[in-house]
Homo-oligomer: A and B are copies of this chain.
Amino acid sequence: MAHQVVILGGGFGGLYAAQALKHADISLTMVDRRNFHLFQPLLYQVATGSLSPGEIAAPLRSVLSSQPNAKVLLDEAIGIDAAGKKLILADVGPIPYDTLIVATGSRTSYFGNDQWEEFAPGLKTIEDATRMRHKILFAFEEAEREPDMDMRNAWLTFVIVGGGPTGVELAGALGEIANDTMRNEFDNIKPENARILLLDGGERILSNYPESLSDAAVNSLIKLGVRTRNKVRVTGVDADGVTLKTVAGIERIEAKTILWGAGVRASEFGKVLGEAGVPLDHGGRVLVNPDLTAGAHPNIFVVGDLASLLQDGNPLPGVAPSAMQQGKYAAKVIMARLKGQPAPAPFRYFDKGSLAVIGRTAAVAYFEKFGKLMFSGPIAWLLWLFVHLMYIVEFEARVLVFIRWGFNYLTFQRGARLITGIAATMRKPEPPALKPQ
Q: List the interface of chain A (C-beta within 8 A of B).
A: 32-36, 51-55, 57-59, 61-62, 65, 71-76, 90-92, 126-127, 130, 137, 141, 144-145, 182, 184-187, 394, 396-397, 399-400, 403-404, 407, 411, 413, 415-425, 427, 434
A70 to B421, CA, bound (A): 26
A407 to B404, CA, bound (A): 16
Task: Determine which of B34, B399, B421, B423 lies in contact with A419 in the assembled complex, contact meaning CB atoms within 8 Å.
Answer: B34
Q: Which B residues are CB-close (under 8 A) to A185? A: 61-62, 65, 72
A132 to B389, CA, bound (A): 30
Task: Determine which of B396, B403, B427 lies in contact with A399 in the assembled complex, contact meaning CB atoms within 8 Å.
Answer: B403
A287 to B36, CA, bound (A): 48
Q: A65-B185, A73-B145, A394-B415 are in contact. List 13 more A-B contacts (CB 8 A).
A: A32-B424, A34-B424, A35-B137, A35-B418, A36-B419, A54-B416, A54-B417, A59-B418, A62-B185, A65-B184, A127-B420, A130-B420, A400-B400
A-B pairs, 9 with minimum CB distance: A54-B416, A52-B54, A52-B52, A61-B185, A76-B425, A59-B417, A396-B407, A74-B424, A71-B187
Closest to A91 in B: B425
**Contact indicator A425/B33 (Cβ below 8 Å):** yes
Q: Which B residues are CB-close (under 8 A) to A421? A: 127, 421, 434
This chain's copy number in the assembly = 2
A187 to B61, CA, bound (A): 11
Nearest chain B CB to A36 CB, angstrom units: 5
Q: Which B residues are CB-close (under 8 A) to A144? A: 73-74
Closest to A71 in B: B187
Nearest chain B CB to A183 CB, angstrom units: 9
Nearest chain B CB to A48 CB, angstrom units: 12
A330 to B257, CA, bound (A): 40
**26 residue pairs A–B, Cβ–Cβ below 8 Å:** A33-B424, A34-B419, A35-B137, A35-B418, A53-B53, A54-B54, A54-B417, A54-B418, A59-B417, A59-B418, A61-B186, A65-B185, A71-B186, A71-B187, A74-B141, A74-B424, A90-B425, A127-B420, A130-B420, A396-B413, A396-B415, A400-B400, A400-B403, A403-B403, A421-B421, A421-B434
**Contact indicator B52/A417 (Cβ below 8 Å):** no
A33 to B418, CA, bound (A): 12
Closest to A437 in B: B423
Q: Which B residues are CB-close (under 8 A) to A419? A: 34-36
Known contacts A53-B52, A400-B403: A423-B417 contact under CB 8 Å:
no
**Contact indicator B126/A424 (Cβ below 8 Å):** no
Nearest chain B CB to A310 CB, angstrom units: 34
A182 to B59, CA, bound (A): 11
A130 to B130, CA, bound (A): 13
A385 to B427, CA, bound (A): 39
**Contact indicator B35/A76 (Cβ below 8 Å):** no
A434 to B422, CA, bound (A): 7
**Contact indicator A145/B92 (Cβ below 8 Å):** yes
Closest to A65 in B: B185
A322 to B133, CA, bound (A): 34
Q: Which B residues are CB-close (under 8 A) to A427? A: 91
A126 to B394, CA, bound (A): 24
A71 to B186, CA, bound (A): 7
Q: Which B residues are CB-close (under 8 A) to A51? A: 54
Nearest chain B CB to A91 CB, angstrom units: 6
A187 to B53, CA, bound (A): 27
A54 to B407, CA, bound (A): 14
**Contact indicator A415/B397 (Cβ below 8 Å):** yes
Q: Which B residues are CB-close (under 8 A) to A422? A: 434
**Contact indicator B403/A141 (Cβ below 8 Å):** no
Known contacts A413-B396, A417-B62: A434-B423 contact under CB 8 Å:
yes
Nearest chain B CB to A11 CB, angstrom units: 15
A399 to B47, CA, bound (A): 22
Q: Which B residues are CB-close (under 8 A) to A397? A: 415
